[in-house]
Amino acid sequence: MADTRAARDWAMLGLVVLVGLNLRPFLAAPAPILNEIVADTGLGLGGVALLTLLPMFLMGVGAFVAPGLQVRIGTRRGLLIALAILLAGSALRLYAQNGVALIATAALCGIGVAFIQAAFPGIIKARFPTSVPVVTGLYSAMIMAGGAFGARLMPAFIHAGYSWRAALAWLAVPVAIALAAAWRILSDVQANRPDGTLTRRLLARPRTWVLMAAFGLINAGYSSMIAWLAPYYQAQGWTSADSSGLVAVMAICQAAAALGLPTLARGNVDRRRWLWLTIAFQAIGFFGLANLPEAAPMVWAGLCGAGLGGSFALALVTALDHLPRPEQAGALAALMQGGGFLIAALGPYAVALLHDWTGGFAAGWMLHLGCVLVTALLYLRFDPRRYNVAMSLVR
C-alpha cells in the first residue's frame, strides 16, 4: 500500500512538472522572433503588446470563472479540457496567416492556461499537504523554466529553416504529452469541489483584494519583461539569438528562485522577509535596465527574473497559507491570480504607451520599479498571526 501511494505521489510530481512547463512557452516564444513576425504580419507595438496583454487578461477573467466551473464539471474534466484548448491554440499557430489570427491563438492559449492555473494550487495542497511550499516551488519553477524553453527554442527553429509559424506550432508537442499524462494520472486525484458560494465570500474579504493587487503589480513586470526585454535589446543592435539568450537567463533565474526561495522559507509561515528579498532583486534589476542597460544586461535580467520567479511562487504559498482546507485555499489562490492577471495584463500596453511618448523603454522599466516598491508596502499586511481575522467570514 505504501509503495502504491509513493508511486502515485511520484506520478503526480511528474505531472506537476509536465503541466508547469507548458504554461508559459506560448507567451515567451514570440518575443525573440518578433522581427520575423512583424515583417510578415505588419503588427505594430500595440498589436505586439496584445500577444501578451490579451492572454493575460483572459487568464485573469478565467481564474474568476474557474471555481464555478470546478463545481459544475469537476477538476479532472476541467483540466483535461483546458489542456486540450492549450494544445489547439498552440497547434493553430501553424495556420496564423496574419496578426489577428496570431493574437486569436494567443487568446485561445490564455483561456486554457486560466483554468489550469486556477485549479492546480488547490490540487497541490490536497495531494501534498505537508509539502506545500516545496511542491508549489517546483510547480512555479517549471512555469518559469517553460518560458526559458519557449524563448530559447524559437531562434533555433528559425535557424534550422522553419517558418515562425511552424516554430511556434512545435510547442503543441509538449502540451500533447502533458495531456496524455494528465489523462492517466489525474484519475487518481481526489480534489473536493469548492462550495458554490465560496467566491462571493472570498471577495467580501479585503485581504483577497490585497493579494490580488500585490500579485498583479509584480506580474505586470513579468508580462512586460516577456513582451519587451528582447525587443529592447534588439533595438540596441542585439541579434534575435542573443536577445533570446537574455530572456532565457531571466527565465532560468526565475525558475531557480521559484524553486529555491519557497524551500528556504518552508520553516517559517511568515514569508515576508523572503518576499521583501524578491522586491530588492526586482528593484535593482529594473533600475539597471532603465539606467545602465549595457553595463550588465545579464545581471539586470537575472535579478529581475529571480525577483519575479520568487515572488510568484511565494505569493501562491502565501495565499494557500491563509486557509486550511484545500478547496478554500485553492479558490483564494485562483482569485488572487484572477485579479492579479487582470492588472498584469496592462503591463505590456503601459510600456508600449510610454515607449510611444518617450521614444524608448526606460520609462517603462522605471514604472515597474515603482510598482515593486508599492508591492513592498502591501507585503506588510501578510502577517500570519492575522490570517484568522483576515479570513474570518470564510472559515
pLDDT digits (tens, 9 = 90+) for 195-217: 557 778 888 899 999 999 999 99
Give the pLDDT confidence of 338-362 residue by residue, as tens digits.
899 889 988 888 998 999 999 999 9
Q: What is the mean pLDDT of the chain?
A: 87
**Would you state the pLDDT for residue 199?**
79
Of 241-245, 315-319, 324-328, the range with the highest mean pLDDT is: 315-319
Q: Residue 134 pLDDT more than 90?
A: no
**Would you state the pLDDT for residue 188?**
46
CB 144 within 8 A of CB 259: no
CA dist 101 and 233 (Å) reads 27
The confidence band for 190, taking pLDDT boundaries of 50, 70 and 90, is very low
Q: Once rounded to an integer, what is the mean pLDDT over residues 140-146? A: 85
Strands (DSSP E) found in the chain: none
Of 26-40, 155-169, 231-245, the range with the highest mean pLDDT is: 155-169
Q: Give me the helix-helix angle, 99-127 and 34-41, nearest 10°.
A: 140
CA dist 211 and 111 (Å) reads 22
Q: Once rounded to an integer, what is the mean pLDDT over residues 54-76? A: 83
Give the pLDDT confidence of 297-318 residue by residue, as tens digits.
999 999 999 999 999 889 989 9
pLDDT higher for 158 or 213? Answer: 213
pLDDT higher for 395 or 79? Answer: 79
**Would you state the pLDDT for residue 189?**
47
Q: Which residues, 6 or more positions from 7, have their beta carbon under 8 angstroms from its beta carbon?
A: none
Give the pLDDT confidence of 354-385 residue by residue, as tens digits.
999 999 999 999 999 999 999 999 999 999 98
Distance of CA 22 to the CA centre of its chain: 10
Backbone angles phi, psi at 22, to 5 degrees: -100, 5
Exposed e or buried b per residue across 93-110, where buried means at least 16 C-beta atoms within 10 angstroms of its C-beta: beebeebeebbbbbbbbb
CB 32 within 8 A of CB 324: no
Q: What percentage of the chain exceeds 90 in pLDDT?
A: 42
The confidence band for 266, taking pLDDT boundaries of 50, 70 and 90, is confident
Q: Which residues, 6 or more positions from 262, have their beta carbon under 8 angstroms from its beta carbon?
A: 133, 134, 136, 137, 140, 313, 314, 317
Q: Which fold has domain 2-390?
A: Growth Hormone; Chain: A; (1.20.1250)
**Would you state the pLDDT for residue 194?**
53
CA dist 119 and 123 (Å) reads 7
In this structure, of 35-39, 195-199, 235-239, 347-351, the range with the lowest mean pLDDT score is 195-199
Q: Residue 276 pLDDT more than 90?
A: yes
Domain residue ranges of the chain, discontinuous segments joined by +: 2-390
The confidence band for 191, taking pLDDT boundaries of 50, 70 and 90, is very low
Q: Residue 47 pLDDT more than 50?
A: yes
